[in-house]
Structure 1
Amino acid sequence: MKSILLASVAPMLVLPLAATAQAQETPAAGQVQDQGALGDIVVTARRSAETLQDVPVAVTALSGDFIERQNISDPTDIPQFAPNLTIEQQPASLSAATVFIRGIGNNEPSAVSEQGVGIYLDGVYLARAAGAVFNLIDLERIEVLRGPQGTLFGRNTIGGALQLVSKKPSDDMAVTAKAGYGRFNDWYVKARVDTGYIIGDVIKASIAGQHRENDGWVDNTLNPKSLDPGAVKSNSFALGLQGDFGDVTVNYNFDWDERKGLAPFFQLVATTPQAQAYYSQSPSFGGAPFLVSRDRLGTVQQAGYTEANGETRYRNTTRVQGHALTISYEAIPELTIKSITGYRKFYQDSIVDLSGNGFLRGLVLDFTSPTLVSNQVTPLYNANNAPQKQWQFSQELQALGKVGDINYLLGMYYFYEKSSENNRQSINILSTVGGLPLLDPRITQSVVDGILALNPGLTADSTIGIPATPVQAFGGTSQSMAIFGQASWKPSSLDEKLEITLGGRYTGDDKSIYLAGDVSPVQRGRKSFDNFSWLASASYDVTDDVMVYARVSTGYRSGGLNPRAGVINSFEPEKATAYEAGIKSQFLNNRLRFNLAGYITDYKDLQVQQFAAGSGGATSLIVNAGKVRLSGFEAELTAMPFRGFQIDGSVGYVKSNYKTFEFRDPTSNILLDVSDEAKPVYTPKWTIHAGAEYAWSLGDATVRLRGDYSRRTKIYFNALNNTAPFNEDIVSPPQDNVKARLSVEEINVGGGKLDVGVWGDNLLNQQRLTYGIDFGALGFAGAVFNRPISYGIDARISF
């Protein structure tokens, strides 16, 4: 059955791809009109440099010039150019991201949760999804690797990997500066200086920096524009050093990113009748009006987080920094030894305002009041998650060599991290007066009788709030060690047309956790896991320009210990086995490039979050809930019909078929298989992109016009409706985006070159729900909406 599906993918796609296909690259400035053909892109999908068309892996690569022209500023901008990839910034955070590839990922932002898609910066693994959104100011390229990468990249790449590669220092001195201004007072300035070789032909360096800030696009009438939701100021810095010492090459990279501001507005989109009736009375108690709307709002009230001393806070602060040191030693032409050392830190102080309203007021249970009830501010859900911090150290050793017809890579890997967070929450739990003993057994019937006697306006069916201020505090350590190897055989007797590759990796993980805050006494736990991941692939060059391949690869997402529970609760690793077949091809003297990959992934022991909210605050359970088969394809096409004109596009498809999905019914305590009800999360069935670009000469300058269209189908944020009663209300609907750019490039200015461009994004001005959270037990659900139509101008000068 697997072979039939994979074999049938290609003929089904030939016709649609003529109109809807995706670029894997955009040539460098001037390349379109000067060469009249598609250039090569070098990638490191197998941890060594290879051209995109020669590597038997499903990869999308975006070049540095394309990143610069498209103003791709952080990882959330990437998915519209890469099929079957989802990256969404999480609500109430400036730096947390949810990343999925081919239906596999993780949406838990806690300081001890593992990712399902590995993110790498200059070969160093970024362990925390909470620090995955940062400014991309100095990149040579971005690589999106789809499918399990467990052999060469290791744990937590069960869905794939995202590689961010910094620009290396230039051999010659150069200076580049760029500035831009757009709608919502969105402006930035950035610059890069390359020293060239400064000590003979040995040492060279680069320094880059950026300042960026913008107002929010939703007006909070309680605050000035600088405190509107979405208003952010950020500073970024990057340093690169390279030393060439004969057979030894040393590269050092340092990156630092700080963001201060507010997350986008979290808007209520649905409530229970009880919550609607209770909070709608807020104005009669002197509070703010209650706002609920399924349409994106432009003028709102946002209350912020109120400290115990009465101070109201709005701003978040996030800092991410890292060091990467890569040393390569060419012992002999057939053997290179490489060391990759990494150290990274992350810090976050987040104001988590998920109430979507101003200062609401209502009647709440109050044992300090003579009537047991008082009129108070009633936040639906606010919190201060601070500090959330993490540091990590990693060391990798590789030996890359060749013996006869065999290329090999052997390696060892070590990783250690320590992380913690302290989340102080403020919530309001609703109950009828008569139902209070059912909600909390400590509230007796005599308390209910006292409330009714002292408050003649209340009945047993009247709703009151129960204020709660739970604290979730936890932390832990993670240590991982691995040995791995991969060998590829390309027999010279077959003119190196055939390649057979085998690889394997053994990993041992050890984790510890402590649970504090409201958990008393402090709970401590420890758990160890191990895994063997393997890879087998075969590729064959049918012609010089056409390669076909097939591969089987495995991967795993490490098990762990649940930080959201009140007791030590461990869960096992997730595992995936992927079967993939594809073709990589170029035609018409490299004017047409077509790549296709079809896959089936058997994904088991899913770590599924089941959201819960109660008097202990917002919590979730993590269980190994079952297995799913994911199948689909990606097709990517780039064509240059004539000199200066390029069209490109992609199509991605994911089908999710749950085989088992175990759920324990909270009312009966019976374990049920609800696989027929489970929905894929953070995974659209279809992703589509189409772009076109035309460049022509105007004197000594180049004029470039580009347009892009992208679409993804709907996304669910929860697997089960019975654990998320508003799941259908917060579905992210199908999204279409149109963007365009017109630029004049390489204008002679003194001794330099000037580029000037104008751009527009979300040109259809669509209102799109991009991320939803279901607080079902608290009576409401909310979501973040996209930025309205935006446009601007930028200029870049280089010497």
Structure 2
Amino acid sequence: MKTTDSRSRLRGPAVLLAVSTVALATSAAFAQDNTSPPADAGYRPSSTIETITTQAQKIETNIQSTPVAVTSISGETLQRSFAQDLRDLSKNTPNVMMEPVGAFQNASAFFIRGFGSTDIESATDPGVGIFVDGIYQARTSTGLSDMLDVEAVEVLRGPQGTLFGRNTIVGAVLLNHNKPDVNDFDMKASVLAGNYGRLDVKGVINVPLVEGVAAMRLAVKSTNFDGFYTNETDHTHYGTNDRITILPSFRVEGESWDATIRGEIGRIRDDSYANVQYSQCPGTAADPSIPDTAAFQMVPRINYLVKGAQGLTDACGKQPGKDAYTVQHDNTNGRGSNFDIWGLTGEFNYTIPDVGTLTYVAGYRDAQEDVYNDFDATDLPIYMTRRQQDHWQTSHELRFASEFSDTFDFVAGLYYFKQKYYMEQDTYGWLFDSNFSTAFVNAITGAQGLQLTDLNASAGGFGATTQSNTSWAAFVNANWHFTDNLTLVAGLRYTEETKNFETCAPSAINDRANRACNTTPNLPGSTYYNSDISLAAGDNNWSNVSPKVGLNWQTTDDMFLYASWTRGFRSGGFNGRCGTPFSCAPFDPETADSYEIGMKWDPLEELRINLTGFWLEYQNQQVTLIRQSPAASGGGNETVTANAGQARAKGIELEVTAVPTEGLKLWGALGFLDAKRTQFCADVDGIGAFPGAPGASCNPADEIEVANANFPNGGYGYYPVDASGLPLPRAPKWTLSAGVSYEVPVADMGFLEFAADWRYTSRSVQTAAGIPPGSTAGIMNYDGTLITPWRDKAHVFNASVTFNEIDNRYRVSVFMKNITNEHYIQSITAVAALFNFMQVNEPRHWGVEVSLDF
């Protein structure tokens, strides 16, 4: 692992101070001279708002006449804001939360208008679809990979079921890379260095092979980072990045056709994600300041039994302050978040004069991962996992776009998608030693004999899951122009999906040495489940019709109004981390009806105002919960997805851009969201006594009681309760952001750009089930730390200074992010009676970047 000594940590701020001083001195000198660049200079400060195009309708259209709530961020803007991955886009988009899942280094948890997904399993489809160069990305586990050579990223809010289809039920993110340029040679390079050992090196070369006909392009990036965390267990940095990304591409253009082939190679050797303790350690009823260790979650209780008072400090919940960047990870049996990715994408366009354009897009992607996690987040080997997974996907889309007549145009197509994955999981540590119960009781009673420290840290269980998924769809989206200014929009998509699933939950009954599941049905302790043999035929098939109807009105050349109704769809599926046969059983699809009205207005060349209002009705919502499970399933908990009820969201989104004077650009975004559950009937608190009390659940018909002689009272039961009062996770009421950039000429040398932005997010719940399960009140620990599912409101400020040479041959930038060093919870994972852990946001950090354009 990389380390950074004290001299390098002092050297970084000194460099930042020196560069900032030079930049400000240059600016002050210009303020006195105020010399404008010569008339033939390459630089011109912007004085109007640029025209932005979008692919939101599968064809290139002006964003100001496209009836979709979409925010487009150019690759140049991303580069100037030093964006590392897609999470940096949250500040530009209202009612959008792009964040990491938590516990998994590169996994994305994207939420739009209060809905999304936090499950990293390949068995579960994301709620926000990510499309890279037109190819749907089926997995969230690589959603936060490094961005490189990006042309633009578009965030589409609201269901995109007609044109983009499956699993875009609340929105889509479109990331497009630059195409090879068949006319001009270009070569670029940049180096970014910052604190915490950050060093990014990237280069892009574009070479016309036959001028005007063919070109190749190659983009390469190396990312190295020491991580924001310090691991007290072995005194190393934690959360490191070590990545190589290679994007080769080739393009050929003919008179009426073009073809682009892209490759992707990714090698990621990151650290395991740093988990910070957030466990419950309440005090006694008589004196809340005295630890009631019997009421602790399991991990802090074990720590107390082994280490006494020090165990409380190590394992009880922390507040999300600067101390949260000090972690304790044992990593007895491994450490790392390793991915090997390769893919190939092709796009072919053929234009038939006066008829239309035929487009074929195809892709294949393979991702192999090997991820370790020390989930107990202590220096004791209590609960650890290793997940090894191979996932591949392929897709084909054929579409035809035609301006059929002056009054009618359309886009229609066919889509085919197939994916398959195989995942092996080892769950190990003291908790999985067969003698754990004996050692645990001895520690509590003070008895002699086997102690917790005598347990085998490598003891554990093996589990495996595989799923194949095949989907196809047919779609059409048409525009009927009543007049030059009034247009009726109608769209329809039909989708069929088939999934076949097998799993055995991690358990000692499986053959860990030979990596094999015990497939004996109904064997005590076995949770082998095969959808083909355990379900009636057709139970793993789903189909859907997603319609859209809208009306567009171009009231003037500067104002565009639209209203629409759209239905989004997310397929049903199976629980990839279930622990019992009935919780492995399939869950149903979910749908969302979205009613939206919007205004896009350019009253001046220097001013743009976009306003959207929406109402979203969610049916059969898929909710992922972590709950207690029978001990026979291994580990004492299981992660399940179930159709838990209904929800609705309403709100407004305002985006404003202004260029009040030459070189000065202002922008702002406001999102107001009122999202809540209207029905939430789910087993949020795990297994209960057998038999259950009549009427104990909100829907007695959903009660599941399992007879088992190994449990008290002869069995156990799952009893759904009415939890509709629980807020939706990651659905803050307010998101506000604003930014400014000002370009200042520096004699005839170039210009300085001063930029700053601010993002405010109101408080929000970060878990689906609450802490404790079914509650948002939280638990007060004995030391006064409130363990709550809420994330506090937060303000984040960023700023930069950039000098750009007059002919754009080089650029030097200094930036700082999270200037005020705001600390807040990024994500929370509450694991039933075992433990809770969290991840915190990125602290204040800075960097210097030098970019060259040859």
TM over 0.5: yes
Change (3 A) 1:347 1:724: farther
Give the one of 241, 253, 263 matched to 1:254. 263
Tell me if 1:783 matches 2:821: no
Q: What is the aligned partner in structure 2 of residue 698 from structure 1?
A: 746
- 1:66 aligns to what SS in structure 2? helix
- Alignment gaps of 5+ in structure 1: 1-29, 308-312, 361-377
Distance 1:451 1:686 in 2: 49
2:453 and 2:199 map into 1 onto residues whose CA distance is 47
1:525 corresponds to: 531
Matched with 1:371 is: none
- Alpha carbons 1:539, 1:549 under 8 Å: kept: yes
Aligned partners of 1:465, 1:287: CA distance in 2, in Å? 17
Give the Å deviation of 1:534.
0.7
Q: 1:713 aligns with which of 755, 762, 769?
A: 762
Q: Residues 609 and 654 of structure 2 are in contact (CA less than 8 Å); yes or no, is this contact kept in structure 1?
A: yes
Which stretch has the larger CA shift, 286-295 or 546-555? 286-295
CA distance 1:464–1:671, change in 2 (3 Å): farther
* One-letter identity of the residue aligned with 1:741: S
Which of 519, 522, 539 is equivalent to 2:552? 539
1:51 Cα deviation after fit: 1.0
* Worse overlay, 481-490 or 510-519: 510-519
Per-residue CA distance 1:370-411 (angstroms, 9 max, x = gap):
xxxxxxxx41x31111x1221001000001102221111110
**Which of the numbers 590, 605, 625 marks the counterpart of 1:610?**
625
How far apart are the structure 2 equivalents of 1:255 and 1:637?
Answer: 36
Measure, in 1, the Cα distance between the counterparts of 2:470 and 2:52: 35
How far did residue 299 of structure 1 move? Answer: 6.8
Q: Deviations over 1:641-671 (max 9, x none)?
A: 1111111010112211322111247433743
Query: Aligned partners of 1:99 and 1:636: how far apart in 2?
Result: 20
Does the CA-based 8 Å contact 1:131-1:320 persist in structure 2? no
Indicate if the aligned counterparts of 1:407 and 1:488 stay in contact, CA closer than 8 A: yes
The CA distance in 2 between the partners of 1:277 and 1:576, in whole Å, is 43
Structure 2 Cα separation of the partners of residues 582 and 32 of structure 1: 36
Q: In the TM superposition, what is the alpha-carbon distance from 1:289 to its structure 2 partner?
A: 6.7
Mapped to 1, the partners of 2:325 and 2:594 lie a distance apart of 48
1:286 positional shift: 11
User: What's the CA shift for 1:718?
Assistant: 2.4
Mapping of residues 96-107 of structure 1, within 5 Å: 96-107=107-118
| Contact kept? 1:111, 1:475, Cα under 8 Å | no
Cα separation, 2, equivalents of 1:251 and 1:119:
20
Superposed, 1:351-362 pairs within 5 Å as 351-358=372-379, 360=380
| 686-695 or 281-290, which deviates more | 281-290
Alignment partner, residue 268 of structure 1: 277
Partner of 1:143: 154
2:715 is aligned to none
Residue type matched to 1:523 in 2? Y
Q: Is the counterpart of residue 219 in structure 1 residue 230 in structure 2?
A: yes
Q: Residue 265 of structure 1 aligns to a residue in which SS?
A: coil
Tell me how far 1:320 sits from its aligned partner.
2.8
Aligned equivalents of 2:85, 2:618: Cα separation in 1: 29
- Please state if 1:413 is matched with 2:415: yes
Aligned residue for 1:53, secondary structure, equals helix
- Of 763, 769, 775, the residue aligned with 2:819 is 763
Distance 1:797 1:120 in 2: 30
Distance 2:640 2:425 in 1: 17
Tell me, in whole angstroms, the C-alpha distance in 2 between the residues paired with 1:484 and 1:304: 52
**Shift of residue 81 of structure 1?**
1.3
Question: What secondary structure, in the 3-state scheme, does the structure 1 residue paired with 2:555 have?
Answer: strand
Is 1:122 the counterpart of 2:133? The answer is yes
Give the structure 1 partner of residue 473 of structure 2: 482
Q: Does the alignment pair 1:557 with 2:605?
A: no
- CA drift of 1:35 comes to 4.2
The answer to whether the Cα contact below 8 Å between 1:267 and 1:355 also exists between their aligned partners in 2 is: no
Is the alpha carbon distance of 1:466 and 1:530 closer, same or farther for their aligned partners in structure 2, counting shifts above 3 Å? farther
Q: Tell which deviates more after alignment, 569-578 or 419-428.
A: 419-428
Which residue pairs with 1:403 in the alignment? 404
Deviation at 1:40, TM superposition (A): 0.6
**Are 1:735 and 2:794 an aligned pair?**
yes
Q: Does the aligned pair in 2 maintain the 1:328–1:336 contact within 8 Å?
A: yes
**1:320 corresponds to:** 341
**How much does 1:608 deviate?**
1.2
Instruction: Give the share of equivalent positions with the same residue, in percent.
Output: 25
8 A contact 1:513–1:561 mirrored in 2: yes
Q: In the alignment, which of 181, 201, 208 is matched to residue 189 of structure 1?
A: 201
Deviates more, 1:141-150 or 1:669-678: 669-678
SS where residue 533 of structure 1 aligns? strand
In structure 2, runs of 5+ residues without a counterpart are 1-40, 282-292, 508-516, 520-527, 533-539, 699-720, 780-786
1:684 aligns with 2:693: no
* Whole-Å separation in 1 of the counterparts to 2:751 and 2:530: 63
Task: Find the aligned partners of 1:455 and 1:699 in 2 and give their Cα distance.
Answer: 76
In the alignment, which of 657, 660, 664 is matched to residue 645 of structure 1?
Answer: 664
Give the 3-state SS of the residue equivalent to 1:76 in structure 2: helix
Deviates further, 273-282 or 347-356 = 273-282
Q: Secondary structure at the match of 2:87?
A: helix
What aligned pairs does 1:376-391 form with structure 2 within 5 A after superposition?
Answer: 378-379=381-382, 381-385=383-387, 387-391=388-392
For residues 46-70 of structure 1, give each alpha carbon's deviation from its aligned partner in whole angstroms, at most 9, with x where no partner exists: 0000011010100000011101101
Q: Which residue is 2:803 aligned to?
A: 744
* CA displacement at 1:415 relative to structure 2: 0.4
Counterpart position of 1:44: 55
Tell me by how many angstroms 1:732 deviates. 2.1
Shift of 1:298: 6.2
Task: Choose from 751, 761, 774 the match for 2:830.
Answer: 774
Name the aligned partner's letter for residue 717 of structure 1.
Q
Contact 1:339 1:398 in 2 (8 A): yes
SS of the counterpart of 1:79?
helix
CA contact (8 A) 2:469 2:497 kept: yes
How many Å separate the matches in 2 of 1:524 and 1:581? 46
In 1: Cα distance, 2:741 partner to 2:310 partner: 57
Partner of 1:79: 90
Whether contact under 8 Å (1:506, 1:533) holds in the other structure is yes
In 1, the alpha carbon distance for the partners of 2:42 and 2:754 equals: 14
Paired with 1:87 and 1:580, the residues of 2 have a C-alpha distance of 22
What is the alpha-carbon root mean square deviation over aligned residues? 2.9
Distance 2:566 2:250 in 1: 36
1:575 to 571, 577, 591: 591
Cα distance, 1:537–1:290 mapped onto 2, change above 3 Å: same
C-alpha distance in 2 between matches for 1:456 and 1:346: 49
Q: Pick from 697, 701, 714: which aligns with 1:671? A: 697
- Residues 351 and 456 from structure 1, CA distance in 2 versus in 1: closer, same or farther, beyond 3 angstroms? closer
**2:241 aligned to which of 228, 232, 248:** 232
* 1:202 CA drift (Å): 1.3
The one-letter code matched in structure 2 to 1:571 is F
Q: Distance between the aligned counterparts of 2:574 and 2:432, measured in 1?
A: 31
CA gap 1:354/1:201 in 2 versus in 1, 3 angstroms = same
For 1:87, what is the secondary structure of its paired residue? strand
More off after superposition, 261-270 vs 202-211: 261-270
What amino acid sits opposite 2:465 in the alignment? F
Q: Work out whether residues 305 and 444 of structure 2, in 8 Å CA contact, stay in contact via their aligned partners in 1.
A: no
- Equivalent position of 1:373 in the other structure: none
Determine if the alignment matches structure 1 residue 723 to structure 2 residue 773: yes
What is the TM-score with the length of structure 2 in the denominator? 0.80
Matching residue of 1:548: 561
Residue 335 of structure 2 aligns to which amino acid in structure 1?
Y
- Hey, which of these two has a bigger chunk of strand by percent? 1
In the aligned structure 1, how far is the partner of 2:552 from the partner of 2:463? 51
Distance 2:118 2:61 in 1: 32
Q: What is the identity, as a one-letter code, of the residue corresponding to 1:172?
A: D
